[in-house]
Every structure is written in structure tokens, then in C-alpha cells.
Structure 1
Amino acid sequence: MTMTLADAARIDDGVVSPRADRPKRRTFTAEYKAKILADYDAADRGERGAILRREGLYSSHIVEWRKAAESGAASALAPQAKDRRERQRDREVEQLRARAEKAEAELARTRAALDIVGKAHALLETLSESTGTPKPPGR
């Protein structure tokens, strides 16, 4: 099949497809979700539909948010990181945090060991003085 100039014009005519002007998906903060769940649960059965219409929500939102809240996952109420770069950054932050904790633990062990060595040195010095052995020159 050969491509004609008419075919080329139809492909790249600069017209935006109908899907390009669709609105973006909304994201909700954890605070907003918790507030709506509280309002929805406190409302009478007849008022619940009004809350959903006012906020532009569906009952499936409430069901999903309630499941997340009941599972005790407050972080599940927050929007999920969808961007690969965000997930990579979060992984890197966790790795650096673990590395810092490991370094701090090692530093604490090293300080404890130095403290013990210093005390042992002081004890040996005290013992050598009590036995009457002379100190080495230069001290």
C-alpha cells in the first residue's frame, strides 16, 4: 500500500483527538477522604446522596475509602505515587534512611568500644602505679 499526500495530510492535520481534551483524573487528599467519610457516616440515609452529588462523588468512592480506612491503612487513603520517578525516589530515600541508621548504630558501637578501651587504659595505668612499676619515659 502506498501513501498519498491526502493520507499524509489526514494523519498529521493538527486536529486534536476527542480524548485529548478529556479532563484529568481527580486526586483526593487523605484529609478530604477522611472528612467526606465522616460526613457521609454522620448523615441520614436521605442526605447521603446529597453529599455525593454536592462533592461530585460516587458511592464506589465511599466503599473504596471505607475499606482502606477499616484496614487501618491511613496511607492507603492518600493518593498513590504513580510516577516511576516518584517510586524510584521513594526507594532511594528508604535505602539512604536504612544506610544512615546502620551508620549511626555502627558509630554508637565504635564510641562504646572507645569508651571501654579508654577505661581499660586508665585501669591498667592505675594498676601499674599501685605496683610501683615506673612509667615509661615521655609520659
Structure 2
Amino acid sequence: MHRIVREADACTAPGAIGALLRREGLYSSHLSKWRLLVAESDAAVVPNKKRGPKPDAVKAVDRRVSNLELANEKLTKQLTQARLIIGVQKKLCDLLGLPTEEEVK
């Protein structure tokens, strides 16, 4: 049924649909009923409306803000740790008398 409806929709030449119906041994009423059935089945497959509760925009914004705040805290801690490590490296270079990257330039 779907195959024949697709073939009939693809026919562009005059008399092509009639030739298709004769070849398959069908009447035009079959084709018109099948087109309705195919349209109904296609409409049933694609739902128009999502089910379930609607998403709350305020909650989504609050959730995004809290996630960004957590990420900011994490990055701030990493930055503090990196600055501490760099400071220790500079002091070690001063104690050992090694040139720092700033002195090399």
C-alpha cells in the first residue's frame, strides 16, 4: 500500500497513474483511500505535542547559574594553586641561583 502510494505520488507524466493502477490491478478509489490511510498513519507517528510537564525556564536559569558558580569556584582554586606553585618555583630559583624565565629574556 505505501509503495503504491509513493509510486503514484512520484508519477509526473500524463496517464502514468492510470498505467500504474492498470499494472497493479487497482481502481482509483483504492488509491484515494490508501492516500488517506497513509496520511493518517504519518500523522499518528509524529506527535504534535510533547507529553509531560513543561520545562520551567526559571529553574533552568537557576540551575545554569549554580553550575557556573561551581565552575568559577573550581577555576579560582586552580588559579590560586598555580600562583602558589609559581611563587615556590621562583623562590627555589632564587635560592639555587638559577635564572628565571623573566631574567632569560
Alignment TM-score, normalising by the size of structure 2: 0.44
Larger Rg: 2
Q: Say which structure, 1 or 2, has more relative contact order (CA 8 Å, 6+ apart).
A: 1
Greater share of helix residues, 1 or 2? Answer: 2
Alignment TM-score, normalising by the size of structure 1: 0.34
